[in-house]
A and B are shown apart, each in its own frame.
Chain A
Amino acid sequence: MTAVFRISGAGRLSQAKTASFSFDGKPYSGIEGDTLASALLANGVHLVGRSFKYHRPRGFLSAGAEEPNALVQIVRDDARKTPNVRATVQELYDGLTAISQNRWPSLAFDVGAVNDLASPMFSAGFYYKTFMWPKWAWKDLYEPKIRAAAGLGVSPEKPDPDHYAARYAHCEVLVLGGGAAGIAAALAAAETGVRVILADEQAEFGGSLRFESGARIDGQDGYAWAQGAIAKLKAMDNVRVLSRTTAFGYYAQNFVGLVERVSDHLKSPGRELARERLWQVRAGRVVIATGAIERHMVFANNDRPGVMLASAARTYLNHYGVAVGRNVGVYTANDSAYAAAIDLKKAGVNIAAIVDLRDNPTCPVIDEARALGIEINFGRAVVSAGGKLRVSSMTVQPKNGGGERTIPVDAILMSSGWTPSVHLFSQSRGKVAFNDDTKRFVPGTYAQDCVSVGACNGTDGLDATVDEAYAAGAKAAKDAGGKAGKGAKPKVDAGESWSRGMLGAAPGAGPGTTVKAFVDFQNDVTAKDIRQAVHEGMHSIEHVKRFTTNGMATDQGKTSNMHGLAIAAEELGKPIPQVGLTTFRAPYTPVTFGSIVGHARGALFDPTRRTATHGWAASHGAVFEEVGHWKRAWYFPRAGEDMHAAVNRECVTVRKVGGLFDASTLGKIEVVGPDAAKFMELLYTNPWEKLETGRCRYGIMLREDGFIYDDGVVGRLAPDRFHVTTTTGGAPRVMNHMEDYLQTEFPHLNVWLTSITEQWAVIAVQGPKSRDIIAPLVEGIDISDEAMPHMSVREGKICGVPTRLFRMSFTGERGFEVNVPADYGEAVWEALWAEGQKHGAVAYGTETMHVLRAEKGYIIVGQDTDGTVTPSDAGLDWAVGKKKTDFVGIRGLTRPDLVAKARKQLVGLKTKDPKVVLEEGAQIVADPKQPIPMKMIGHVTSSYWSENCGRSIALALVAGGRDRMGQTLYVPMPNGTIEVEVTGMVFVDEKGGRLNG
């Protein structure tokens, strides 16, 4: 069944291809190729939404991306409920389900509409003024209520199941907009052989040729010409044609973001299809051909459903074959609305009257309208639209006042002129210029290598547009290295041309009036609101915008900005250019988070790094923790063990027998070259020149300000070769820090730096039995205490593969760190594990590693230090070469603050109750009875239960800590104050005998 407002013989859709859909639960029928808007209009439905603030009934203003009113929710399933979809953009598919927003209980009867009656309360700046006090009420009272009342759609309840693709693309010429201008520019550029991308936001190319019935190019109807030209461009290897693709952002150096809507128009898109695709295009030259947007007339009740832009009514008729009413009124200050009246009249729609604000305009379309018998009223204004859920009449008055006449209508088409779409030009940081003659902002000074053509450049007339665009396309391609094109410029046989119009409020909505003449439909901003903002002291257009929220809705003021500016300018008594234009910002139209995020979510959000033994650890029940990008085995619980029990067992077993620990994540940097030792002298506080080959040293790296930056054990493999280890988290920045100094401050040093973190798997074998565990597997290295003492390094083989074997310890026990090429890491681990099991050793994780090192007072940079700790603060003075004359940080260390008394120093803490484990980060005070806020003298940096000590242990940074040995300090906590005693940092084996035990 053909919908009642579908005009047979009109439009370009095939009546045979029907698609059923529902709106607010009611079934309708449309045609393939419809938008949701055209399909609803074909069924006579104009009421589609309620406004944001006043809950006023709203219909369709436009037929395109500028739509401020017709926002609906498209529901595919629980996970796919897209709110705020413009019905004028959403293409119809069979089975589409749409629901209206911002209404309760129903669209026709909305309780929130009481706001409309109470509107004096809701005037400009209302939110700022009303909800200020009391402070608590915003969060608990006002905001929840306002949000519930406003409700721009509802969120889906499940994660987005769709996927979003992303592409980078390069081209010599990028053409933004696929109307007559964009197509002409693309043709000219493409013929030169350069790479061209042409993008348009619509499903079909043609732009205003979709509604301009008078356009003829190359002997054809304008729209047909556009389709032929697009087919030709698509067939060319050097051209990429993107429809349903919006250029939303224009960034530095011709970097343009496009979003392609891949499958939102399909009934059931396959999983192989992305929902959207983000294109990040770097273009040599950009041709901006974004056209112009028609403006509405600002008069009382101009928001009633059925009141719409004249060009929208023309699009619905000429493209979709839909009449927006049967008895239509026209209100204009511009010629273009006449063309709409003529098209509708010819299609059999009655034109009740044309009301033209201008006194005696002349134009061929006016003569044509008159010849068709349409009533034309010059010098008159529509001062009000009647009706509520649908416009029912227009009240007409001479523009300077006089008798009123009410004309029944079921739709009003309006046009106050056209605003060039300078959004992308302006985003490119180009400066717009105001043309006082035509009252519009057009591109002025360019900041990037781009050119605007056609209506967005203020060029009027199809002939002039095609001329300009074709020349610009050819020049852009030539400048980008294209050959001379051999194509012919499209010939415009007939086209429409109009300009002028008016800005600001129409008669009846001028100064002193209180009618609801909407400037910004989506944010419910009226002409009166803008004037009020000026009266209340907002003299900058940026302030007016924020005070009234004019232009701040999701449509970003595409139809409202110029009206708002003109009203503010009039009220300020200043010319428009002096009041200025608000900044155009990306995105041009709303962009989904999905398209920006692309594939970077879930497992692909961030890289995961796994060590060589990850699989072994997982199969042995390890619980993992995330350390930077690394997954590290945290502890290895046995059946029935919780974390506490597992860690206790691991800690005790390592000290009693031995344990294996994967230390592969430590950063490793090889410092090689004739000047390697000199370089190490400069980058670390310690002396290195005299470190013998085969020996290791604990090194401290400072920043120039004297604070600890990183630490680690360094082995000298040869006179010119150091194997440096860093903290896990510090590896990349330490490498950067070293490279920085090597390249820029010490370039005279002959040194190479190589990151070898991922080349070597590191297996720490610690405990009294560690030597027995590795002994059967090591070849070519004497691992006796005499031949290989603590802090030494040897190269040889283990399990038949090369190893750099370190004798070192981060547990305080006799220990080795077995470095093997990462590919052999798991096999060597398995072999060591088999040996370890003979002795009863355990595999242990990072938690046990932390406890064991804390028992020995070994610091962790970044946990026990925080970027304000010096070696002296950390008790590491011994590691600073006293005879050295230079190293990074040497001067920083002598800064007055760094040598001041009573700096915070690292100490140990023992709770008076040994069972109480302090909280890391807890603050420390000297006197718990002092009034709040108390003077805090330090904080806990590390704290654990130590099964080996049979009590809790902690490290803390405390002001003047080393002078407080034995003192009692206090840690105030929510459940009471904890007493602690200041101690040394070593809780186990103070003399260090176990290193050789």
Chain B
Amino acid sequence: MLLIRCPYCEEERPELEFRNAGEAHIARPTNIAAESDDDFEKFFFIRANPKGVIYERWRHIHGCARFFNAVRDTVTDKFVMTYKAGEPKPSKLPGASK
């Protein structure tokens, strides 16, 4: 069972308290009704599914109930870092060589 750091509770809590909520940094278009079919497809259906570092949303559903973002390695399952919803995608990851 993983330990996940909730950026709102500011502590590591067991995975059982959390629920994954899909890829992060996919903003809902402000004028969504005017989106083209192609743009809507990209927004709603297309996901990166990388082998390696993924940016994804988690919810501390059985804790503070907040949604937040996390950087995780899909190969090792390791959480690289977590940060609050609305904060920008981190440009530099801790421990990364470049």
| Chain A contacts to B: CB under 8 angstroms | 251-253, 255, 280, 282, 429, 447, 704-705, 736, 739-740, 743-745, 747, 885-886, 890-892, 894-896
Contact = CB atoms under 8 A, between A and B. Distances in A.
B32 A447 contact: no
23 contacts: A251-B1, A252-B2, A252-B78, A253-B2, A447-B76, A736-B59, A736-B61, A739-B65, A740-B21, A740-B67, A743-B66, A744-B57, A745-B27, A747-B86, A885-B33, A890-B32, A890-B33, A891-B32, A891-B33, A891-B35, A891-B40, A892-B40, A895-B37
A691 to B, nearest CB: 22
Given A429-B76, A747-B85, 18 more contacts: A253-B1, A282-B3, A704-B28, A704-B44, A705-B44, A736-B59, A739-B65, A739-B67, A743-B66, A743-B67, A743-B85, A744-B67, A744-B85, A885-B33, A891-B33, A892-B40, A894-B33, A895-B37
B1 A255 contact: yes
B77 interface: yes
Nearest to B32: A891
A740 B14 CA distance: 21
Contacts of A280: 1
A447 B35 CA distance: 46
Most-contacted residue by chain A among B3, B31, B32, B66 (CB, 10 A): B32
Most-contacted residue by chain B among A255, A447, A744 (CB, 10 A): A744
Report, as a range, how many residues of chain B touch the other chain. Answer: 20 to 34
Contact of A886 (B32, B59, B67): B32
Contacts of B27: 745
B21 to A, nearest CB: 7
Contacts of A740: 21, 59, 67
A866 B88 CA distance: 37
Contacts of B44: 704-705, 892
Contacts of B32: 886, 890-891
A734 to B, nearest CB: 14
Nearest to A884: B33
Nearest to A891: B32
Given A743-B85, A744-B57, A895 B1 contact: no
Interface string B20-48: 01000001100111010100100010000
Nearest to A254: B3
Contacts, number: 55
A946 B29 CA distance: 48
Main secondary structure of the interface of A (DSSP, over half): mixed
A1 to B, nearest CB: 53
Interface of B: 1-3, 14, 19, 21, 27-28, 31-33, 35, 37, 40, 44, 57, 59, 61, 65-67, 76-78, 85-86
Which 10 A-B pairs give the minimum distances between C-beta atoms? A891-B32, A743-B67, A745-B28, A253-B3, A890-B33, A252-B2, A255-B1, A744-B85, A744-B67, A891-B40
A705 B25 CA distance: 19
Contacts of A739: 59, 65, 67
A654 B78 CA distance: 59
Nearest to B36: A891
Contacts of B77: 252
A753 B45 CA distance: 28
Nearest to B44: A704
A280 B1 CA distance: 10
B4 to A, nearest CB: 10
A94 to B, nearest CB: 40
Contacts of B59: 736, 739-740
Contacts of A890: 32-33
Contacts of B28: 704, 745
Contacts of B31: 886
A255 B76 CA distance: 15
B77 to A, nearest CB: 6
A896 B38 CA distance: 11
Nearest to B45: A705
Contacts of A743: 66-67, 85
Contacts of A896: 37
B2 to A, nearest CB: 5
B25 to A, nearest CB: 11
Contacts of B76: 429, 447
Most-contacted residue by chain B among A704, A739, A743, A894 (CB, 10 A): A743
A174 B32 CA distance: 54
A896 B41 CA distance: 12
Given A252-B2, A736-B61, A886 B40 contact: no
A894 B77 CA distance: 38
Contacts of A255: 1, 3
A895 B39 CA distance: 12
Contacts of A894: 33
B46 to A, nearest CB: 13
Contacts of B65: 739
Contacts of A251: 1
Nearest to A747: B86
Contacts of B66: 743
A255 B16 CA distance: 13
Contacts of B21: 740
A779 B65 CA distance: 39
Contacts of B35: 891
Most-contacted residue by chain A among B28, B57, B66 (CB, 10 A): B28
A896 B19 CA distance: 33
A886 B1 contact: no
A885 B27 CA distance: 18
B42 to A, nearest CB: 12
A745 B25 CA distance: 11
A736 B57 CA distance: 13
Nearest to A741: B28
Nearest to B41: A895
Contacts of A282: 3, 14
A885 B29 CA distance: 13
Nearest to B33: A890
Contacts of A747: 85-86
Contacts of B3: 252-253, 255, 282
A941 to B, nearest CB: 26
B1 A252 contact: yes
Contacts of B19: 736
Contacts of A704: 28, 44
Given A429-B76, A744-B67, A886 B33 contact: yes
A447 B78 CA distance: 10
A655 to B, nearest CB: 43
A704 B32 CA distance: 10
A115 B35 CA distance: 70
